[in-house]
Amino acid sequence: MRVVSDTSTLCYLILIEEPRLLPELFTNIVIPPAVRDELAHLDAPMKVRDWIANPPVWLSVGDTPAGREAGELQRLDPGEREAILLAEQMGADLLLLDDWKARELARSRGLPITGLIGVLDKAIQKSLVDPAIVVERLRATSFRISDRLLATLIR
How many structural domains are present in the chain? 1
The answer to whether 64 and 89 have CB atoms below 8 angstroms apart is yes
34: nearest Cα among 12, 72, 5: 5
Per-residue model confidence (pLDDT) at position 154 = 64
Question: Could you tell me the residue range of the domain that residue 87 belongs to?
Answer: 2-154
The answer to whether 129 touches 153, Cβ cutoff 8 Å, is no
Q: Tens place of pLDDT for every residue, the chain, 155 residues?
A: 899 999 999 999 999 999 999 999 998 899 999 999 999 999 999 999 999 999 999 999 998 776 555 577 888 999 999 999 999 999 999 999 999 999 999 999 999 999 999 999 999 999 999 998 988 898 889 887 767 766 676 66
What's 133's domain CATH number?
3.40.50.1010
